[in-house]
Amino acid sequence: MYYGPKKFDEPMTHARITLFAGHYGSGKTNLAVNYAIALKHLHPGSRVILADLDIVNPYFRSLDSADALECAGIEIIASQFANSNLEAPSMPGEAMILFDNKACCGVIDVGGDERGAYAVGRYSDYIREENVDALLVCNKYRPLSREPEQVLSIKNEIENAARIKFTGLVNNSNLGAQTTPEHIISSLRYINRVSELCGLPVIFTGAARGLADYLPGMTGLFCLDIHGKNEWRIN
Amino acid sequence: MEKVLMKGNEAIAEAAIMAGCRHFFGYPITPQTEVAAYMSKRLPKIGGVYLQAESEISSINMILGAASAGVRAMTSSSSPGISLMSEGISYMAACDLPSVIVNIQRGGPGLGGIQPSQADYWQATRSSGHGDFHIIALAPNSIQEIVDLTQRAFDLADTYRMPVIILGDGILGQMMEPVELRPNISANPPEKTWAANGTGGKRKKNIINSLYLKPDQLEQINFERFKRYKLVEKKEALHEAYLTDDADIILVAYGATSRICRNAITQARANGVKAGLLRPITLWPFPVQAIKQTMQRAKAFICVEMSMGQMIDDVKLAIECERPVAFLGRTGGMVHTPEEILAKIEAVDRGETA
């Protein structure tokens, strides 16, 4: 039921489960939240689940977007200690629903770097069996993933820790609120080089909704709403 | 210069590297662990030393050793870890050793929690350890300021031969902003003629020590050191004034809290209340003169802190209690909302200053 023609004009994969991993701060959580909402648009009758496997990041988590997710009718499965004062690297048993219940679809949000990716290892057999689309999120404007070669070593570290293989790349190059259309255009060369080096296809480029209007004719653009905390944002 | 997107904790680490720091000793603790994680990735590639110690007590004493040898060294931790470092910080102050210590504060007291806090103000400005001494306390409020001030911290430490603490909070450590990695260090740092780094057979031994057998000698050394502290107080106080010129109500806040205050001030002004912000950038030395000056016009002050009220004493002292100073605090890892700050501004504007 997930392999029909696309009803939603976003570039998306056709897998039942899509996983986002990458260097920390590359924007995985916001991507995962947006992607889950887009999945729900695509499959309004289905149970859509966002599994937050991030057990390393103390702040800025998918739960910060709980309102937007619940509003869209998406279930969140996260560590019961997320956003609390307890750092217990554990996942609830419900995380298995995504693999056990073949009628649901969803997104897996993985913690940053290899440190965050270890949590995926526990599910790696299921991920392989299920042909999960495992996407490596890349941001050219992060200091330790500026060079395509650096991305390659991050990719290898995460694959070893998570015991999975990536199936595609997501270009999420951004400078936060200061991102301009030029930043996105100039990141295309970077992501294509990463793609050449590791042999993985670029599935899409993420851009904040306001920027997409300035990028006419750019294909493979996935529009993002920026979710999360903002009371201390200053311009 | 092309900007990059950085987390506060990473920015501290990269700025330290830019300032010539090649020695980092630390022990992981949330919410500052990315400082150590970043150093562990970067330092081995540039000929530096990253070492995870077995405890914060070890880390600070490794810093003492590295500083004694005259190299730029840094450690970082969060609240409970800084308490463990107290003894070492006092020893470094006593030995006139420069170093940079980072505290990304979390909720306390005790083990507390991992969410942001500013409850270590007293610790940073009053009691970083036992004995008569000060350390310079820097309080950035943006990732760009972290990049600039972390570099400056190393110059200040070397110039005045004293530890400098960067007092951040969990929000600043974890949040991301675009930054320019621009250099902000002195081209001519003072030569470390005092360092115990080998005589080369050419000079007398340098001895790094904090034990004095004669009380009058120790008193004399403390007198001399406090003359240096006077100089720091005179020359190094930093602040930012935001819309204070015509303000009836002055908010005093530092770090992440000051950002939320700015948003509340925008709303207050839209509602017709003239509020402004005086943001201390150095907590010691405290920007006494700058705060005093705002008193010409201001009818009341509001101290906003993620604590039960620690900086408020310094505000009252700065204005010699000549105006009411109201207080709005959150604690335990809770963060102010702009709305509750706005409500406080409006209450104080109505004369409710208690």
Query: What is the reported pLDDT for A234?
Result: 63
B55 and B176 assigned to the same domain = yes
Residue B307 sits in a domain of what CATH number?
3.40.50.920
Domain co-membership, B75 together with B214: yes
- Give the number of domains in chain B: 2
**Per-residue model confidence as pLDDT tens digits over B297-313:** 999 999 999 999 999 99
Given CA atoms B336, B337, B343, B345 in this order, what sign does their dihedral have? positive
Nearest CB partner across the interface for B6, out of A59, A60, A143: A143
* A91: Cβ contacts below 8 Å, ≥ 6 apart: A53, A55, A79, A119, A122
Task: Tell whether B117 and B130 lie within a shared domain.
Answer: yes
Of B156, B230, B164, B221, nearest to B190 by C-alpha is: B156
Instruction: Return the SS3 of B73.
Output: strand
Does residue B201 lie in a domain region? no
pLDDT tens column, A51-61: 999 887 777 77
Which band of pLDDT confidence, cut at 50, 70 and 90, is reported for residue B338? Answer: very high
The pLDDT value given to residue B127: 85
* Cα torsion angle, A184, A189, A190, A194, sign: positive
Q: Are residues B288 and B186 in the same domain?
A: no
* Stretch among A209-223, B11-25, B43-57 having the lowest mean pLDDT: A209-223
CB contact under 8 A, A141 and B175: no
What are the chain A neighbours of B260 within 8 Å (beta carbons)?
231-232
CB pairs under 8 A between A and B: 80
Q: Are residues B166 and B274 in the same domain?
A: no
Q: Give per-residue pLDDT as tens, B238-295.
A: 999 999 999 999 999 999 999 999 999 999 999 999 999 999 999 999 999 999 999 9
Residues of A in contact with B39 (CB under 8 A): none
Distance of CA B291 to the CA centre of its chain: 19
Mean pLDDT, rounded, for A183-195: 96
Last residue of a domain, one of B219, B235, B251: B235
Number of H helices, E strands in chain B: 12, 14
Residue A24 forms contact with B (CB below 8 Å) = yes
Is there a single domain that holds both residue B83 and residue B167? yes
Which residues of chain B have a CB within 8 Å of the CB of A178?
Answer: 3, 178
pLDDT tens readout for residues B20-38: 999 999 999 999 999 999 9
Inter-chain CB proximity A59 and B31 less than 8 Å: yes
Pick the residue from chain B with its C-alpha nearest to A24: B7
pLDDT at B42 over 90: yes
- For residue B42, being part of any structural domain is answered with yes
Q: Nearest chain A residue to B332 by CA: give it.
A: A85
Report chain B's terminal Cα–Cα distance, integer Å: 48
Residue B231 has pLDDT above 90, yes or no: yes
Question: Considering chain B, what percentage of its residues have pLDDT values greater than 70?
Answer: 100
**Beta partners for B169?**
B105
Which whole number is the average pLDDT over A97-122? Answer: 93
Mean pLDDT of chain A: 88
Question: A2-224 is classed in which CATH architecture?
Answer: 3-Layer(aba) Sandwich (3.40)
Tell me the mean pLDDT in the region B200-218: 96
Query: What DSSP state is assigned to residue B114?
Result: S
Q: Inform me whether the C-beta atom of residue A174 falls under 8 Å from chain B C-beta atoms.
A: yes
Label each residue of chain A as H, E or C: CCCCCCCCCCCCCCCCEEEEEECCCCCHHHHHHHHHHHHHHHCCCCCEEEEECCCCCCCCCHHHHHHHHHHCCEEEEECCCCCCCCCCCCCCHHHHHHHHCCCCEEEEECCCHHHHHHHHHHHHHHHHHCCCEEEEEECCCCHHHCCHHHHHHHHHHHHHHHCCCCCEEEECCCECECCCHHHHHHHHHHHHHHHHHHCCCEEEEEEEHHHHCCCCCCCCEEEECCCCCCCCCCC
Instruction: Please give the sequence-ordered ranges of beta strands (E in DSSP) within chain B, or none if there are none.
Output: 4-7, 23-26, 49-52, 73-77, 99-105, 136-138, 163-169, 176-179, 239-242, 249-252, 275-280, 282-284, 300-305, 325-329
Within 8 A of B116 by CB-CB distance, chain A residues are: 59
pLDDT at A4 over 60: no
Residues B256, A232: C-beta atoms closer than 8 Å: yes
Q: The domain that contains B161 carries what CATH number?
A: 3.40.50.970
Segment B317-340 shows an average pLDDT of 97
Side chain identity, residue B283: L
Domain ranges of chain A: 2-224
Mean per-residue pLDDT of chain B: 97
Where does the pLDDT of residue A65 fall: very low under 50, low under 70, confident under 90, or very high at 90 and above?
confident
Separation in Å, CA of B301 to nearest CA in chain A: 21
* B46 shares its domain with B182: yes
Specify whether B243 is located in the same domain as B112: no
Can you give the pTM of this predicted structure? 0.93
Of residues A25, A58, A146, nearest to B31 (C-beta): A58
- C-alpha span between B282 and B285 (Å, rounded): 6
Percent of chain A with pLDDT over 70: 92
CA A128 to chain centre: 18
The answer as to whether B354 is a domain residue is no
For residue B87, being part of any structural domain is answered with yes
Q: Are B116 and B10 found together in one domain?
A: yes
CB spacing of A59 vs B34 below 8 angstroms? no
| B5/A25 touch (CB, cutoff 8 Å), yes or no | yes
If pLDDT is split at 50, 70 and 90, which confidence band does A232 have?
low
Co-location of B229 and B282 in the same domain: no
Kindly report, residue by residue over B122-142, the tens digit of the pLDDT: 999 998 999 999 999 999 999
Of B107, B262, B338, the CB nearest to A85: B107
Are residues B183 and B314 located together in one domain of the fold? no
pLDDT at position A6: 39
The ipTM, to two decimals, is: 0.88
Q: Is the pLDDT of residue A233 over 90?
A: no
Residue B202 lies in a domain: no
Owning domain of residue B76: 4-195+207-235
Query: What is the pLDDT at residue B303?
Result: 98
Using the predicted structure, report yes or no on whether residue A136 has a pLDDT greater than 50.
yes
- Do B120 and B69 fall within a single domain? yes
Written as one letter, the residue type at B287 is P
The confidence score (pLDDT) of residue A230 equals 67
Flag whether pLDDT at B354 surpasses 70: yes
Is residue B213 situated within a structural domain?
yes
